[in-house]
Chain A
Amino acid sequence: MSALRQLSLLFALYLLAVWVCGLLPFAFPASVLGMLLLLLLLLAGVVKPRQVERGADLLLQNMMLLFVPAGVSILEYFPLIRDKVPVLILIALVTLAVTLAATAFTVKAAAALLGKRREAKR
């Protein structure tokens, strides 16, 4: 299938997710629902990777370009954060360190625990 046809398939899938999200009793991001939907279809084998990969890669490889316009809107919102920039940087750095530590130690502990259990089974 051509990249364009695959793209239209992805657009249709996303619009389907938008419609389903409107029916949900709680707020849920449509794009993430679209992602989960496509992941399920791929895992179930209903959609084959080659049926979407050319269109999907076109979007994935240029993903960062798509954020530029939303980022430019910082021009409009800068007054909102002007005097909070040092605090925001501090929060970003502290939470980064906390997240790294929490993840790394948990993975290490879980891997060690599983390793022990596997050895016990032998």
Chain B
Amino acid sequence: MSAVTQSPLFGIALTVAAYSIGLWVNRRTGLSIANPNLIAIPLIILCLLLTGTPLADYQRGGEVINMLLGPATAALALSIYRQREVLRESFLPVLLGCLAGCCASVGSTLALCKVFGLDETITASLLPKSVTTPIAVELSAQRGGVAAITIVVVIFTGIAGAALAPGLLRLLGISDPMAQGVAIGTASHGIGTARALELGKVQGAMSGVAVGVAGIITVLLLTFL
């Protein structure tokens, strides 16, 4: 068996298979809680534990997939470029909103990590929790965090944002579509954006723009502060 599991193709095949199952469940149910990653990751862990396959064997293929993250993040430029018209129209409110949101996110996370006495590794893994996963993973690694913890927290934040943000914003008395969209995108990245699109076209577009702008602002914040 180890000849099979030690081939890089094993990890690649398992990843693609588990992710397809996750994607299928997600489309069948249409629920943001049925996130493809949240299904695929436990599924793979279960497979490894049940068959006694070492994580290192799986990661021979996993690393190959992981390597594509760099160019994929660079490709995000295209999705930001596609939003340039929306961004041009309401540049200042979006920029200021994202700036305030990113400072609030990083600041409140840092403060709470201190309050609860979390160590530097976990704090570094949590700081970029509001931004889109590819950027969050890079920022976490840069500050000595653990990519796996960051990914789980970022996905959790996205799902929580998708579930709670519309109600929370209503509670705060925010009915302006632009403010709603920018807030959801800044606080809960792409997963929140999917929910923002359900609220309306403006909310969806603004949320999409905010994901890119908040990503760049958070990089600058965490690199130079």
Contacts and interface: CB of A to CB of B under 8 A. Distances in A.
Q: Do A and B bind each other?
A: yes
A107 interface: yes
Interface in B64-78: 65-66, 68-78
B31 interface: no
A11 B149 CA distance: 27
A36 to B, nearest CB: 7
Interface in A13-55: 13-14, 17-18, 26-32, 34-39, 42-43, 49, 52-53, 55
Contacts of B199: none
Give the most central of A30, A53, A63: most B CB within 10 Å: A63
B112 A95 contact: yes
Contact of B178 (A28, A43, A101, A107): A107
B6 interface: no
Given A10-B71, A32-B219, A99-B104, A80 B121 contact: yes
Interface residues of B, number: 102
Q: Binding site of B, secondary structure by majority: helix, strand, loop or mixed?
A: helix
Give the most central of A18, A52, A102: most B CB within 10 Å: A102
B186 A68 contact: no
Contacts of A26: 223-224
B173 to A, nearest CB: 9
A120 interface: no
Interface in A34-84: 34-39, 42-43, 49, 52-53, 55-57, 59-60, 63-77, 80-81, 84
B30 interface: no
A1 interface: no
Contact of A32 (B73, B112, B126): B73
B103 to A, nearest CB: 7
Shortest beta-carbon contacts, A-B, top 7: A69-B62, A103-B101, A34-B74, A29-B138, A31-B73, A102-B104, A107-B97
Interface of A: 7, 10-11, 13-14, 17-18, 26-32, 34-39, 42-43, 49, 52-53, 55-57, 59-60, 63-77, 80-81, 84, 87-108, 110-111, 114
15 contacts: A13-B74, A26-B223, A30-B138, A31-B72, A65-B65, A70-B69, A70-B148, A72-B41, A73-B147, A75-B55, A84-B118, A89-B156, A99-B187, A107-B96, A114-B93
Given A56-B75, A91-B116, 15 more contacts: A10-B71, A38-B78, A53-B78, A64-B36, A68-B37, A69-B63, A70-B147, A75-B55, A81-B122, A90-B112, A94-B108, A100-B168, A100-B172, A108-B179, A110-B97
